Structure formats: C-alpha cells, structure tokens
Structure 1
C-alpha cells in the first residue's frame, strides 16, 4: 500500500457508496473513510499467495467454507445504505457463512484473513488492520512476512487475539481442524 490518495479533490472522507462510483483500473482500500491506493504485488508475494490458495482450496473442496484471493472487497462493518467507510482487500480470506457473500464483496467478517506483507506496508497500516479484524470478530488472522520468513498467527479468544510466530514446520489452522499449512512449502519456492 502506497499511502492515502485523493480520488476526488473536494472530498476527505469516502464511503463504500463513493468507492462503488470510482471508475478506475487501480485498486483501493478504505480505512476510516480515507482512500489508499494499493501497490502491485511482487513475484514473491504472488507465489506465496498462490501456494496458500492451493493448500486452502484443496482442503476445502466439498466443505462448506470457501477461500478467496484478492482482489475482492471485504466490508467488515457493512451498512445497508453503503455508508460504511472501511473496505479492505485481504490477500486471502476464508468464509464459512455464505450469507456474507454478495455479488461484489464479503459483507461482514471472514472467518480467517491472511495478509502478505509488502515493502510498501507500514507498521501503522498493519496495526490498523489488526485492530479492524479484531473489532470485526475475524476468528483467525495471519500476517505473512516474506522478508523475515515468518508467519504471525492471531487466534481470537475471549475478545482478544492470542498470538504466535512460526518460522518452520506446519501451522495448524484453528478454524479448520485437520488442516496444517507447511510453512516451508512457500519459503522453499521463494529463494531470497
């Protein structure tokens, strides 16, 4: 993410209704009404995304939950009149309640969100998203850091995230019992 941008010079606060009106080939996220243009993903980012998508997708075949990859809007706090002002596009997310899926977005908290850190991501942005996901009730949230070859896993328990960091081995997916993601499966494909 490259920082806030002005889509309409006269506005400083945008809603999902505004967002739907933008005719652009660029991707944006809204955070508290501020528009952020998203940077194009790197090759390593896409390799990790594809590896995770395949692993989750294979496990979920024939099961009620479904995995999605960006770009797809996630409206964590949707309002019927589209006045909500936070719209994110996580790299991957899993939805088990299909009533949250509309034609163009996920309307409500996904069960699991995975963000792959890019050089353009700021600590402030990562913390902001962490808090959004916590407030919305995302049950499991991963932050994949290709530079440090780590995965932070945050599991929602009693209104707070319980966190751990993985560097090797397999990551058990708490919302999908029986699924473990081999962390080396995407590090080995991505030489530094």
Structure 2
C-alpha cells in the first residue's frame, strides 16, 4: 500500500513538494517534544524549501500525513492521533483502511470524510490531486 501511494503521490507532487515514507517529524504534543513517524508525509516546498537537504527529522509540520490501518489497529486510535497531529500544526491526515477499501480524510475544521470507489479525493490544500480510492487500491493490487 505504501509503495502504491508513493508512486501516485510523487507523480502528482513533482515540483510541489516532498513525499516521504516514515520520515520522523519533530512536533509538540501536550507541551513535550514528539517525534511522529507517519507511514507517509507530504511537505510542500513553501513549507520546507527545496534547498533543505539535511538527513534529519523533518523540522516543520507537514501539510499531509498518511497512516495505513493494520489489522491490529483501530480507527479510534487514529482519531486520537489526528487530534495530536492537528494540535502540532499538521493540516490533514488520511487514514487508509485496506480491509474496507476506504480513505478517511481528517482535517481540524470539519468531521472526517470517508471516500471509497471512484469518488476523487479533492482538497484545496492539495490542488490538482484528484486521486480516487479505486486508483490507489488498484495500484496497490488490492482490487
């Protein structure tokens, strides 16, 4: 699943920003340092300039983090994690559920929206993206 997302998002993100798997992000949670490691993250070049080349934890909150639900995890765990991400400055979180073949998009301003089938995920934060869950799950050989 992660490899499929990297292929699709890097194609979209060329010239816009970085798409990285499991890149530790320096954040704050409840006033303490927190090194979150999402399955995937997107950070625009406006947020972190292209000239930044350090092999280090990401120093700024990404616009998007993507988490992939495993069989032993619950949606409720990720709802709490989404809240922590938003408090730390992350703008969006996608929760990919391979078993249900859905993608839940969390944002701080509104309730989570669940996408499935051919409904494209559109977001002003990610202009021109328009991927559908079907495209993502087909790329991952789940459909």
Q: Distance in 2 between matches of 1:180 and 1:54?
A: 15
2:121 — aligned with what? 171
Paired residues, number = 135
Where in structure 1 are there 5+ consecutive unaligned residues?
1-47
SS at match of 1:115: strand
Cα gap change, 1:146 to 1:103, in 2 (>3 Å): same
1:91 equivalent to 2:42? Answer: no
Q: Distance in 2 between matches of 1:95 and 1:181?
A: 18
Higher mean displacement: 137-146 or 102-111: 102-111
Q: Distance in 1 between matches of 2:63 and 2:9?
A: 13
Q: Distance in 1 between matches of 2:10 and 2:38?
A: 16
> Is the radius of gyration larger for structure 1 or structure 2?
1
Alignment RMSD (CA, Å): 2.4
TM value normalised by structure 1: 0.62
Cα gap change, 1:114 to 1:184, in 2 (>3 Å): same
Q: Distance in 2 between matches of 1:141 and 1:172?
A: 13
TM value normalised by structure 2: 0.80
Q: Is the 8 A contact 1:77 1:108 kept in 2?
A: no
Where in structure 2 are there 5+ consecutive unaligned residues?
none
1:137 equivalent to 2:89? Answer: yes
Alignment of 1:47-86 (within 5 A): 48-63=1-16, 65-70=17-22, 72-77=23-28, 84-86=32-34
